[in-house]
Amino acid sequence: MIFRLAWKNIIGAGFRTWLNVFILSICYFAIIAVQGMFLGWQEEASQKIKLWDIAEGQYWQKDFDPYDPFTWHKSHAKIPDKIMEKNAKEKAVPVLLTWVTAYPHGRMRNVMLKGINPEQNLLILPSEYLKEKSDYIPAIMGKRTAESLKLQTGDYLTLRWKDQHGTFDATDILVRHIFKTTVLSVDSNQIWIALDQLQDMLDLPDEATLISIADAKKIQSFSDWEFKDTDYLLRDVKSMIEAKTIGSTIFYILLLFMAMIAIFDSQILSIFRRRKEIGTLMALGLTRSQVIRLFTLEGSLHAILAIGIGAIYGIPILNQLEKRGITFGMEAGEFGISGLSDRLYPIYGFKLVLITILLVLITTIIVSFIPARKITKLKPTDVLKGKFNYSKRN
């Protein structure tokens, strides 16, 4: 009976009810759309960074600190024999890195020089271009690095470096290939050459700084090496997305606040205008708690109807966004965001939709219950006599 009364009352309110329902449906849609965009961002960035750089985890030389380039000259150690076996089976990719001075077109630039096995197939980095044998060392680099150095495929570049003995040397490299990627950790100010050639240049035979591996289920401990899992290696991406998510929470709060104000005002007005009806219901046998449930249910039905209204226009829109993606007009790497291309594909999972529905529904129930508490102070005898003041029960 309470449900039938609540349903007839909100339908009878007409335009006011449907306006509140539409506002709540916008809350559902906006929260799901924005959160789905962040989930898609995290998934795409994580997958691309794994494919291009870290695979399923990395071993770091114990002295290596990616945020302290001054430690890189000593951040190298002999590759463990078991890792060498995995390397032969294409399940591990050692990488040696160092700082060098490049001289593009008469200018001087400090760049990171990395060595990788040309035969590897674990990462999608196009290392096969490093197999070429010529008088010059073949090299590959990302599009951003090439544009920064003003180089093109086929250009030559002079590099100067210092080996482990402190001796300076120089040579020319040939830009064999320029690849395009959204992963900044393999593109930003970096040049790639064959691992064995870089080891010869630095006089570091069989040594490396990083080792990306294909299987992180069975991790072995090696002296001079520390294993970093994908959660650790992707922490910068996750931290950035968490920061953006917190910022968007302000938008959610404002949107929910506007919707809840509308529901609250509707409940206050409804209780004020229907005091005589409330007194009559109580005089006919309804308890105060039942009347409170009636008005709370009326407010909650707004959120339930909003689910259906939101689904009518929300599902087609979100489905198209998920299929076609959201374009930014330019690559996100231009903003310093790694792993994100010029088109973002959101992800709308069941968990996201369920949490959003519960969030809005619970908030609506609370806001509907607050004004309904006033009914506990209403005396039905006074209402039937035409006295509509609220007083404490005896």
The DSSP string of 157-217 is EEEEEE-TTS-EEEEEEEEEEEE--S-GGGTTTEEEEEHHHHHHHHT-TTEESEEEES--S
Co-location of 346 and 220 in the same domain? no
Co-location of 41 and 107 in the same domain? no
> CA nearest 340: which of 230, 181, 232, 188?
181
Give the H or E element holding residue 265. Answer: helix 235-273
Segments of the chain scoring below 70 in pLDDT? 86-90, 274-276, 328-341, 374-394
**Domain around 242:** 2-50+236-384
Co-location of 248 and 202 in the same domain? no
> Count of residues for the chain?
394
Co-location of 9 and 138 in the same domain? no
* Contact between 139 and 152 (Cβ < 8 Å): no
Indicate whether 198 belongs to any domain: yes
Distance in angstroms (rounded) separating the CA atoms of residues 111 and 146 = 11
Structural domains counted in the chain: 2
Q: CB 145: neighbour CB atoms within 10 A?
A: 24
Distance in angstroms (rounded) separating the CA atoms of residues 30 and 247 = 14
One-letter amino acid of 97: L
Co-location of 210 and 241 in the same domain? no
Indicate whether 359 belongs to any domain: yes
Indicate whether 33 belongs to any domain: yes
Q: For residue range 243-276, what is the model confidence (pLDDT) as tens digits?
A: 877 777 888 888 888 788 878 777 777 777 766 6
Indicate whether 393 belongs to any domain: no
Co-location of 45 and 72 in the same domain? no
Co-location of 174 and 252 in the same domain? no
Indicate whether 390 belongs to any domain: no
* Contact between 90 and 121 (Cβ < 8 Å): yes
Per-residue pLDDT at 70: 81
Distance in angstroms (rounded) separating the CA atoms of residues 35 and 321 = 13
Last residue of a domain, one of 228, 257, 274: 228
Co-location of 214 and 242 in the same domain? no
Co-location of 29 and 116 in the same domain? no
Distance in angstroms (rounded) separating the CA atoms of residues 11 and 18 = 9
Indicate whether 281 belongs to any domain: yes
Co-location of 185 and 317 in the same domain? no
* Contact between 304 and 289 (Cβ < 8 Å): no
Indicate whether 389 belongs to any domain: no
Per-residue pLDDT at 255: 80
Cα–Cα separations (whole angstroms), residue 107 to 104, 148, 192, 346, 359 = 5, 12, 20, 43, 58
Last residue of a domain, one of 228, 251, 286: 228
Indicate whether 394 belongs to any domain: no
Co-location of 255 and 310 in the same domain? yes
Last residue of a domain, one of 228, 255, 284: 228
Co-location of 332 and 375 in the same domain? yes
